[in-house]
Structure 1
Amino acid sequence: MNRKQDDIYTIGFVQAMTTDNWRKEMNRAMQVEASMHPGFNLVIKDAQNDVARQIKQIEEFISEDVDILIVSPIQSVPITPVVEKAMNAGIPTIVIDRKIDGSNYTAYVGANNVEIGKNAANYIVSNSDQNQELKLVEITGLQTSSPAFERSQGFQEVLANHENINIVATIAGDWEKTSVGNHLGSILDSVESIDYIFAHNDRMAMGAWEMARSKNLEDSIQIIGVDGLFGPSGGIQLVKEGILTATVLYPTGGAEAIKLAIQLLEGDQIAKNNLLNTVVIDKLNVDIMQNQFNKMNQQQNDIEQQQTVIKEQVITYNSQSNLLKIMAGLILLLLLLGTWAVYLVFKLKKRKRILELNNAKIITQRNQIEKFAEQLKISNEVKINFFTALSHEFKTPLTLITSAIESIAQNPHKQLKEFAYETNLISKNSGRLLRLINELLDFRKLESGNFYLKPLKTNLYEFIRNIYEDFQSEALRKSIDLKLEADNKGLMVYVDRNMMDKVFFNMLSNAFKFTPKNGKVIISIKENGQEKVDVLFNDSGIGIPKEDFQKIFDPFRQAGNNTKPSSGLGLYITRKFVELHKGNISVSSHQGAEFKIELLQGKKHLSEYKVSEKDLKLQQEESEKLLDSNFIPEELPEPINENTETILIIEDNEDLSYLLKKRLLAEYNVELSDGSDAIEKALAIIPDVIICDIHLPEKNGFEICNELKSDLRTSHIPTLILTALSDKESKIKALRAGADTYISKPFNFEILKESLRTALFNREKLRYYYTNKIDQVKDNAFEDSEQTFLKKLNHIIEKNLKSTGFNVEDLAQQMEISRVQLYRKVKAIMGISISDYINSQRLSKAKSLLQETHLNISEIAYEVGYTSPGYFSTSFKNKYGSTPKQFRN
């Protein structure tokens, strides 16, 4: 093909419409790709979804004799003749996205729409039980377009092999979400339990979701779309937000079309059909895809900026060339300008080479994204866990501080000494927050290399003994045997006392955190004969898995068996501080954990630092002490009224559980659990309300709530989730587990009290419903666990009503729960004892027999289980105000 004037090729592109983001992205991809190839001019015309307008625009390009034509047909059949006209005129024509009715074109670029339909169907099949009957609705695109026909063809071809999956309805859309609403609404009203909706693009899928939401069906129907665009309203974002279950990536092919056009114009051979790869995007890979697009967009922006710089330099170069022509007579100036021009050419080529290298890097990075995706996912999970744990670490002390301040503020006339526990909480938890902040600052300094040792000559035994003494009260409280042993109590070492105080303090804190009551913690100081000293910390706690020995010293990481919230920075900072002293730290585990810190004696290894020989008197830094108070909480009194409602608080933070108990005892009977015996304690006492934290040592709050709500004996108990987590996902998870209320830390105590009152008030309203209207509910769809329990209870009582020996023990045995649990369950639901309820059922049956039969009084008494007609008459009169005979008359 001959070059035109100025060596410029013209590529004409007729776009179907630009009313949606997918088409705009196609245009953008073409423009970016064309800008990377000097000598090629791209002209875009928009048909605005008008077939006649598109035909006219194609004919304009034919009359302008463009070098190559690219067409995205609105409809296949009407566009075919004009495309053939272009081919007959000798203009190579590339068809993109939608096909024409025939094969008279140079090349086709686009995704395999049949394969897209198959991918959607295979996704539904792979995520469904083979024996499960599924109902599907398909929403197609414009019927006259090839993608709509081919996607439907591929979708139905796969489902034809699965008899348990039925397409109950097909809606003919027009690619816009407004074409979905009314028709889909009618289908949702007439067809029950639709499982999936497959829409041919994400916009119609969004319309389907909005209609499902209007009928409260958005959680029961899974919606799959097509396009997978990146951006605020694109399919990827919709999947991430949970609006769509999945979307099938439908690449625009804009860049690929330009590449094919350039290959054609440069005389290369190209394939007739150029199909683009596609993939299903769901919750498993949506973060990976979004990160990939973010990276690609950033790199594309960099390329565009560099191209702008190149264009500016080209303009500069052209202006200099013109100046050279004007000043041809000035030889000296011509030489200078020539030198400048050569420099610019060199710089331009260098920039161009940089662009080519960057483009190659982009291609390489695209290929590496899948390889790095798993590592990125693991890294993200580790950091998310770090911030979640850090949030819990901050919010629990904040909760204790704010609750204590509220208690003081609500009682301004009391003496300060009466708030000794509250003021101690404020002081202790303020210190905790300060330590957390200092830990983060130490981490930042270590990462930036800004720590500088200040070694002091130090008696190692006395130094550690000061820290050891701070833990003695805690050891006494938890019944932990704490010992400090040393071969040489006069051993001197050179250390930065501030750093090593944090190291040894962190070691003891970890040992106490994971050592149970009645356990052991032993500190040993030993010389190993190589001018080294070993400091050993042994505990009888849960130990550390062998595979985690190295991982626990990395930032944000912790042992796999550690269920306690932690920032994951403590051991990392400890290792770094020890290494700054040219020492080493290691761990082993056998019936507990043993950390060994190895320090060098003498000061040769610290020659780069200024070493002080003064053995300064050791001082305790109060701001660095975790156990900064020996305050022992007073014993709380037992509730005066035995009939007071019982609250079970499941919280592993002893300070918080004690404070909640102290503030609630005035109105409620309060029981405590640290989480290890939560289920057993709830079953034993059957409380009226449960307050439960999420981060607990064994089962988390979600699991405990779900287990109690699933157990017939405790399903009626209102549950309040109290936690440091405030994200939407955690709230939804708590509500799905059966929680009645979700309260985030730090919380206002009055809000907690009102939540408790509301829960008890709602339970009282349900008592009236269960005792007065249970028989009015006939539709099983409205039953809950309490209604099922009462219907079973009534059925057993009705069946045994005639038996005079039938009692509470017999009823409990047939209900398969203990007598105590039956009593507490019935008392909680209906407010009366089980024996009174059985007697009420006997008298209610007797009342019906008096009205509907001709049995005499004695026969009716025996029929409902009374051994004495006289006692029956007395009981009947006490309940209904008249004797059985008077009632019948």
Structure 2
Amino acid sequence: MYSIVKYILLFFLAFISLVSCKQEQKNKIQVGFSQAMTTDDWRKQMNSSMKIEASLRPEVNLTISDANNTIQKQIDDIEKFISNRVDVIIVSPIQSKPLTAVVEKSIKAGIPVLVVDRKIEGENYTAYLGADNIEIGRIAARYIISHSKGSGKIIEIMGAKGSSPAYERSMGFNQLVSENKRFSVTNVIQGDWEKESVKKPLKAVLLQNPDVEYIFAHNDRMGLSAWETAKTLGLEKKIKFLGVDGLNTVNGGIELVKSGVLDGTILYPTGGNEALKLALKMYNKETIAKTNILNTIVIDKNNAEIIENQMDKVDQQQEVIESQQGAINLQEKEYASQNNLVRLLSFFLMIILSLTVYSIYSTISIARKKKLLEKFNLTVIEQNNEIQEMAKIAERSNEAKLNFFTGLSHEFKTPITLIMSYVESLIENEKIKGTKLIDEIKLIHKNSNRLLRLINQLLDFRKIEEQKFTLRTSNAKIYDFTNEVMKNFKGEATRRNIDFQLVCKNKSLELFMDLGLMDKVYFNLLSNAFKFTPDNGKISISITENQDNTVKISFKDSGIGIPENELHNVFSPFFRASNNNKNSSGIGLHLSKEFVLLHHGKIELKSKQGSEFVVTLLKGKSHLQPSEIINRAENPNLTPNLILDNLDIKSDLNDVDPISDSEKHSLLLIEDNIDLVHFLKSKLSNEYVVHTSDGSDAIEKATEIVPDIIICDINLVDKDGYEISKVLKKDLRSSHIPIIILTAQSNKESVLKGLQSGVDQYITKPFSFSILKQSISSLLFNREKLRYYYTNNIYRIEPESRFGNQEQSFITKMNDIIKFNIEDPKFSVEDLADKLGVSRVQLYRKVKAIIGINISDHINNVKLEKAAELLKANEMNISEIAYSLGFSSPNYFSTAFKNKFGISPKEYKSSN
């Protein structure tokens, strides 16, 4: 009940206020004033006096539009007044001629026009109000003639060209000056009413005519500028300055006269209040003169202070009037508010009676409806819960479908790897190279590449949907990059006799681009161009620099084009044009647009005769975040083929000399794809002893065999590759083994997860077998370097050294145990393995893998190092040292010591 009353009251109050405001606006006299500009105090004073006069007349609604010294805006402002059907228009023209037509339009529309300050061409206006500018020019001439005591040379500084006051003042001034032969206007400077327009030309004139007696400026601002210019030449006391306006403001004419800058100024009244009074007479159709002249006087040192005091009093009176008017307006608002409140209370009393009757009825009705609403609310809640549950099920189902879709796409990469790896082998086979079969094999390779690109597009689409792409730009030459991509299409162009061209004037032009993403954009656009361009057609790429710091890359073809009404859908996912009868996924152009947007660029389509895609990219790197920029180590002049880099075919598959199993490194291949296992095993068996696992027993095999290197897939039956890698890297028995992850998952998160699991290298499918082979060799070589370090520093390894890993901890712990039991002759390898928590075989293999010697030799080496320390100390004889370190006899100790250090214990002791 309370809320109903509240809404009714608010509606009624708003309605009353709206009606009152509209009625008030409708009853007022609408006066529109088009002011030329408000950049100077004179026009601000005109506006102020007009507003004060309007505030004294409640029946007037004054609207002032500032044209900002722009002729077209002033015309538009007057047009707006005409369309709004104001009652009277007041115009202060910027220039005479351009405003003539619009003023005549207002007169024809029945709206009277009062022209103030400046005139328009012709007499087609209602009335003019302003000072007599011809008379102002004459007053200036009389003043100079009557006060002159010098050369009689005068410089005139005129107002803006095309302004009627400037023309009339100059005409009146020159009429009187020319009548007196003693005086002459030596120079006329064309100003624009502002200070800066005066200084440069005046300085040039004064340098040639330093004996000028008077400078007459058409307003005080230009007069002040003339004085400042003369001061720079030291002539400010020799020359007298006369201005026009006589404003009582800071740097106004009266202040300049009092300070001695101006010899005098001619009062040019603004006439703001007179203009509004005259406009109201025009509205009331009273008889008025066509031309209404404002009175003016000369202000000099004799009367400047008196006039200033008079103007100050006028200003004070105006402030009092404004204050009183404000109080009146406040009282009017209070009255209106109280009047509305009375109306509101009356209405409120009327509805109370109605609401009382309604409340009795509604109380009974609400009780009944409440029960129905409660029942309905329960039903709605249940339905809402069901909808939310269904939404969750749909979301899970959709996510499962997307995961299946992504997973299936990843699964495609393994068979592609097999296809491409076997194709690489066939291409390199000397027996096939010279036969016709080689073309068919290359066709298989080409279509495998195409299938790979399609799968990558599907995966990119998922990443775009999940917003997982990160821009990684580097500086590259766009011409070289474009030319490199074009090489992949040159064969198709030649076969189909398509004119395939690249046009670029600046071949050294560089752009910051993510080469991988931009390569996909190029391939999508060029693939479409070749797909829809007929034989003997034309495809061109043009690169153009623009003056707005952008580069446009245009891909144009002479194909079938796209219907005009479908152009806006081209970049939508899964879109297919109505004239497209070819197989298409519909996501290539969508991905291209997203990749270009990631570069903060844009892509557009034009389709008239064929299609033209235009990619616009920004030059420089100011539009990029620091995280989006990478430093390329390779030569920036060489642009890689980003699609085919990982499919590069090298001659690493040539037959190698057989190696005996005893000399081979051992390799554990953890992969559940039988074909891939068979392929890799057949290729690697020449150089490695290959053990295999489908993942179910991977950890057990790794700790049992302790291989030299492990290759592991991610998607396995029992445990995934991340988990297996993590377990093996934490296990003391296998932590030293390098692990290569071989997977179809190439996104950033998967790579990061693999590295966090401790893997040494991450290779994505499809892969080049030569790259895999080189990766295995590099990791084993690095392991040999680490082994060399341990072998030469085995007794000096500290936790703070740069090889801070589990191998270092293992060796440190093993050495500590050996040193602690060094004097125990019964301490054996089995005892050491037991204390380290590994078997004797695992200890043997791990020590052999890390330091390259067996564990028994290592224990003896530690004992002999200790013996050398004791010999240096010279506190025990040789026999005592031999027995204390667990050697069976001094002779055996001497033999072992000489084998390690090259000299006998006795000689070593003597030398130290």
Instruction: Compute the TM-score of the two structures, normalised by the length of structure 2.
Output: 0.35
Larger Rg: 2
